[in-house]
Amino acid sequence: MSLLQVRDIPEDLYENLARVAKKENRSIAQETIVLLRKALDLKEEHISRRKRVLEEIDELYVAEADSFPDPALLIREDRDR
C-alpha cells in the first residue's frame, strides 16, 4: 500500500478530522481514506454530469440559427440608445 504524508495541515482541519474519525470509530488515517474516496467519487460525478450536459447541448438543433442577428450589433444598438 502506498504511503501519503501531508504536512502543514491547519490545526482546525486536523481537529475536525480527528473528531469525525472518533465519531465514526476510525483512525485518522482510515477516516482520511474514506473522505478522499468520497471527494474523488463526487468529483468524477460532477465531471461526467458536465460532459453529459454539454453533449445534450450539442445535440440541440435550432432551426433558424443562421438568421439570428449579430450579438455585437445588438449590443452596439443598445449602447447607442
pLDDT tens for the 81 residues of the chain, in order: 888 899 999 999 999 999 999 999 999 999 999 999 999 988 888 899 899 999 998 888 777 777 888 899 999 999 998
pTM, two decimal places: 0.59
Residue 60 Cα to chain centre, angstroms: 24
How far the first Cα of the chain sits from its last, in Å, is 68
